[in-house]
Structures are given as structure tokens and as C-alpha cells.
């Protein structure tokens, strides 16, 4: 009974994650001026990507970088499928869908820690915060971009996607 | 043998070269990755009958050379950043696809490109959606930590980032340098969020402070940086990456200024 409860709880969190991730995907798609008919694709792709990453690294055993890479790769494949139907470059949908996974807090924390070192003087803790968060941000961004490029690099080597 | 050679006049080659440069610049200005810029410009030239099209990209310019019947034609265009606009990228690419399918000729392509007017969503709508996005980020941040939902935090994040987005769009409309723009708007966002911290309106001030500036993370340039470098456009990748980091630093400046002004150092 307890296990059923826990599974239900996890599923509920996953559903919340799915729904919440769609909002920033659409919001940022509007900053990028994605055409209106494509907004729904951004929402679905953003939700799938973030929920997949959440289940891989929070529920599953993977570290966040690998989970990000797999999620980005899956979103990219879905994006290529839509792009061919819709006659547009897949990045039109997929970059907005990556936005919920962008490590913004890590990046800002790293930079603020550097500013803090300058302001209050060096401490090993601050340097640790800066390096930990900065490296995390760099690796996650690299995983996002490489994951997006992977289907193209593996399956569309000498020919254009659209 | 291409029998077209006889018909194509020298002016045509010039016009086609200029069209290729125009498509390239339009894509570059509106945030397309380098591989796409190069392939669309090349495919358009080939579709309009050139023997070969070579494209060289620089951070603030584009060079296009077409070769036709042993004759070269080269042109350079300056690139001024116009902000990311996927609508323009889509329309330019569709024009190129129509030319490839022989549904558009030289004059048709020129007309189609001139008719593209960049789509802009209403500013208030973008601000509301971005406010909601940052509130969703706040909830996602709490969710990942296993925290409880907290309506005050979301409301504060929504207001702070919505107002900041409005400021950002207003400053962009006045043609301020993006670095100045981001620093000023980040100052506004953090100042509003800091009020909640000072007056103890919210339970998780740290989340509100960090989520309300997430609208300034240059996600598109960051992803383009890596994909450019992976696909061999190292110098384009580096220049995009430097710009993205500068934008982050500008925001950081705005955040630090606001935290100093309100003496609210909850972030670290």
C-alpha cells in the first residue's frame, strides 16, 4: 500500500513538472517570436523534455548532465519530425523547448559568487560555489546543445533536415 | 552541360548574389545558427542556377561569392543584430524551399523576401507570459527541492519578472545597447523581489530572487554557441559565446547593484 502511495506521489510530481515546464517554453517562444501555429509544439516539446529529464535524474539513477543530453536528443528527434511536416528548421521549436532546462540559476550563482569574492575577499567556500555552479552550468548547456545536434550529426550527415 | 548558361546575363548573377547575401544577413540578424545561414544562402543560389555559392560568416558581416560560367561575383554585407525572430527565419527558409521547387523565380524570391515583415507579439502579452514563466520556474525550483507550494513567492516572482520584461521591451524599443538594457532591467527585477525579502512577504525569498531574473538568461545564444562550435564554425561560436557571457555579466551587475541598494543579500 505504501509503495502504491509513493508511486502515485511520484506520478503527481511528474505531472506537475510536465505542466509547469510548458509555461516557460511558450513564454520564451514568444520572446523568440515563434509563429503562433508553432507555439503548441514548443509547449509539448518543452514539457516532454523537462519531464523526461526530471524522471531520469530525480527518479532514475542518471546524473543531471546525462539526463539533459538524453532529453535534448529526444526533443530534437520529435522536432525534426515536426519540422519536416511544417517546413521550418527544427530549431524553431526545439530551442524554446530547451529553455526550461537552461541552467540559469547555476550560471547566475557562479557569477554572483565571483562578484562576492571581489567584494568581501577570497574564501574557499565562495570559490567552491563559483566553480561548482559554473561547471554545472557549462556542462548542462553543452549537453543541451549537443543533444539537439545529435540526431543531425548521426542520421542527417550530408543532407539537410528540411 | 547547363544550357542555361547562354540565357543568364551578368546582371542576373549580380542580383542572385545580392539575394543570397540578403537571405544570409536576414537569418544572421534574427538569430539563426551558422550552419543554417550558410546552407540556406547556398541552396538559394544553387536553386536560382548558380554553379557554386560560397559563404563566409563573420561576427558582424557576411561574404557571399557566386560562381557562374567561370565568372565570380562577390559581395559583403554588414550584420546588425535585430533580436531573435523565428518567424523571419521560417519565412526565409520557406522562400528558399519554394525556389528549390522551382515555384519562385529570381523576381519572385526578391518579392517574397521584401514582403517578410517580422512578427512581434503584443508587448503586454509577452510580459504576462514571461511573468508566468518565471513563476513556473520558481515552482519547478521548489519542486526539485521537494518544497511546498507558496503562493506569495509565485506572485512576487510574477510581478517582478513581468515588470522587468516590460522594462526590457521598452528599452529595446528605444534602441538601447542590449548590455545597458539587461543591466537596467535586472536591477528592476531584483529591486521588486527584494521588497518581498525586506518586508517578509514570502516564505522562500531566495527562490523569488533567483527565479525573477531567469528571463535574462541568453538561452538562444548559449545553445547557438555550442552548436556552431560543434558544426565547425568556431569563430562564430566564440563571438556568440562572448556576447552571451557579457549579457550574463551585465545582468549580474544589475542584480548586485540592486542587492547593494536594498541591502538584501539573500542569494548566496
Check whether B200 has a pLDDT greater than 90.
Answer: no
Reduce the DSSP state of residue B268 to 3 states and report it: coil
Name beta bridge partners: B213.
none
Check whether A59 has a pLDDT greater than 90.
Answer: no
CB contact under 8 A, B90 and A88: yes
Check whether B3 has a pLDDT greater than 50.
Answer: no
A36/chain B closest Cα distance in angstroms: 9
- Once rounded to an integer, what is the mean pLDDT over residues A43-54? 95
Looking at the partner chain, which of B39, B136, B267 has a beta carbon nearest the beta carbon of A112? B267
CB contact under 8 A, B133 and A28: yes
Q: Supply the mean pLDDT for chain A.
A: 93
* A interface test, pick of B103, B226, B266 with most A CB neighbours within 10 Å: B226
CB contact under 8 A, A145 and B256: no
The interface pTM score, or ipTM, of the predicted complex is 0.93
Which residues of chain A lie closer than 8 angstroms to B85, CB-CB?
32-33
Check whether B233 has a pLDDT greater than 60.
Answer: yes
CB contact under 8 A, B130 and A31: yes
Position B7 scores a pLDDT of 57
CB contact under 8 A, A24 and B219: no
* B interface test, pick of A32, A33, A110 with most B CB neighbours within 10 Å: A33
Which residues of chain A lie closer than 8 angstroms to B43, CB-CB?
160
Q: How confident is the model at residue B2 (pLDDT cuts 50, 70, 90)?
A: very low
Which residues of chain A lie closer than 8 angstroms to B103, CB-CB?
none
- Once rounded to an integer, what is the mean pLDDT over residues A4-30? 92
Which residues of chain A lie closer than 8 angstroms to B129, CB-CB?
23, 26-27, 30
Which residues of chain A lie closer than 8 angstroms to B263, CB-CB?
none
Which residues of chain B lie closer than 8 angstroms to A119, CB-CB?
256
CB A96 within 8 A of CB A29: yes
Percent of chain A with pLDDT over 90: 83
Check whether B263 has a pLDDT greater than 60.
Answer: yes
Chains A–B, number of C-beta pairs less than 8 Å apart: 163
CB B259 within 8 A of CB B213: no
* A interface test, pick of B83, B112, B137 with most A CB neighbours within 10 Å: B137
Query: At B184, which helix (H) or strand (E)?
Result: helix B178-198
A45/chain B closest Cα distance in angstroms: 15
Using one digit for the tens of pLDDT, what is the confidence trace for B139-198? 998 888 877 778 888 999 999 999 999 999 999 999 999 999 999 999 999 999 999 888
CB A118 within 8 A of CB A50: no
Using one digit for the tens of pLDDT, what is the confidence trace for B17-60? 999 999 999 999 999 999 999 999 999 999 999 999 999 999 89
Q: Give the residue from chain B lying closest to A159, CA to CA.
A: B39
B6/chain A closest Cα distance in angstroms: 30
Position A160 scores a pLDDT of 85
Percent of chain B with pLDDT over 70: 97
Which residues have C-beta within 8 Å of that of residue A106, sequence separation ≥ 6? A133, A134, A136, A137, A140
Which residues of chain B lie closer than 8 angstroms to A108, CB-CB?
210, 213, 217, 248, 251-252, 255, 267
Using one digit for the tens of pLDDT, what is the confidence trace for B78-104? 999 899 999 999 999 999 999 999 999
Q: How confident is the model at residue B111 (pLDDT cuts 50, 70, 90)?
A: very high
Which residues of chain B lie closer than 8 angstroms to A87, CB-CB?
93-94, 97
Using one digit for the tens of pLDDT, what is the confidence trace for B177-187? 999 999 999 99
Contacts made by residues A139-143, CB under 8 angstroms, sequence distance 24+: A139/A65, A140/A64, A140/A65, A140/A68, A140/A101, A140/A102, A140/A103, A140/A106, A141/A102, A141/A103, A141/B222, A141/B223, A141/B225, A141/B226, A142/B226, A143/A65, A143/A66, A143/A68, A143/A69, A143/A72
Position B247 scores a pLDDT of 96
B132/chain A closest Cα distance in angstroms: 7
CB contact under 8 A, A31 and B90: no
Amino acid at each position: 500500500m505504501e509503495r502504491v502511495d509513493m508511486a502515485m506521489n511520484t506520478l503527481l510530481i511528474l505531472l506537475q513538472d510536465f505542466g509547469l515546464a510548458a509555461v516557460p517554453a511558450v513564454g520564451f517562444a514568444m520572446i523568440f517570436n515563434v509563429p503562433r501555429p508553432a507555439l503548441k509544439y514548443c509547449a509539448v516539446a518543452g514539457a516532454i523534455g523537462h519531464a523526461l529529464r526530471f524522471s531520469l535524474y530525480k527518479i532514475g539513477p542518471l546524473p543531471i548532465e546525462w539526463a539533459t543530453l538524453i532529453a535534448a536528443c529526444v526533443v530534437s528527434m520529435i522536432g525534426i519530425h515536426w519540422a519536416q511536416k511544417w517546413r521550418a528548421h527544427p530549431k524553431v521549436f526545439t530551442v524554446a523547448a530547451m529553455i526550461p532546462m537552461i541552467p540559469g540559476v547555476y550560471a547566475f550563482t557562479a557569477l554572483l559568487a565571483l562578484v562576492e569574492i571581489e567584494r568581501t575577499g577570497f574564501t574557499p567556500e565562495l570559490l567552491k560555489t563559483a566553480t561548482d555552479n559554473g561547471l554545472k552550468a557549462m556542462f548542462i548547456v553543452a549537453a543541451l546543445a549537443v543533444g539537439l545536434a545529435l540526431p543531425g550529426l548521426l542520421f542527417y550527415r550530408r543532407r539537410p533536415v528540411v | 552541360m547547363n544550357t542555361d548558361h547562354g540565357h543568364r546575363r551578368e546582371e542576373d548573377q549580380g542580383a542572385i548574389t545580392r539575394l543570397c547575401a540578403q537571405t544570409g544577413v536576414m537569418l544572421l540578424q534574427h538569430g539563426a545558427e551558422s550552419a543554417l545561414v550558410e546552407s540556406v544562402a547556398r541552396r538559394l543560389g544553387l536553386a536560382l542556377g548558380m554553379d557554386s555559392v560560397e559563404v563566409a560568416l563573420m561576427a558582424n558581416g557576411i561574404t557571399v561569392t557566386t560562381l557562374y560560367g567561370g565568372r565570380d561575383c562577390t559581395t559583403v554585407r554588414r550584420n546588425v543584430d535585430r533580436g531573435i525572430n523565428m518567424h523571419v527565419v521560417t519565412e526565409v527558409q520557406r522562400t528558399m524551399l519554394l525556389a528549390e521547387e522551382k515555384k519562385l523565380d529570381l523576381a519572385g524570391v526578391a518579392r517574397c523576401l521584401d514582403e517578410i515583415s517580422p512578427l512581434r507579439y503584443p508587448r503586454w502579452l509577452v510580459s504576462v507570459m514571461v511573468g508566468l514563466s518565471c513563476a513556473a520556474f520558481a515552482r519547478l525550483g521548489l519542486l526539485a527541492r521537494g518544497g511546498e507550494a507558496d503562493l506569495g513567492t509565485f506572485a512576487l516572482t510574477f510581478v517582478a519578472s513581468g515588470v522587468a520584461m516590460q522594462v526590457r521591451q521598452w528599452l529595446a524599443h528605444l534602441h538601447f545597447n542590449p548590455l545597458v538594457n539587461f543591466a537596467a532591467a535586472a536591477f528592476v527585477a531584483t529591486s521588486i523581489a527584494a521588497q518581498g525579502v525586506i518586508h517578509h512577504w514570502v516564505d522562500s525569498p531566495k527562490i523569488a530572487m533567483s527565479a525573477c531574473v531567469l528571463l535574462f538568461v541568453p538561452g538562444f545564444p548559449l545553445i547557438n554557441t555550442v552548436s556552431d562550435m560543434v558544426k565547425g564554425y568556431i569563430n562564430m561560436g566564440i563571438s556568440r559565446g562572448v556576447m552571451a557571457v557579457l549579457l550574463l555579466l551585465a545582468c549580474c551587475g544589475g542584480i548586485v547593484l540592486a542587492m547593494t541598494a536594498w541591502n538584501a543579500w539573500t542569494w548566496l
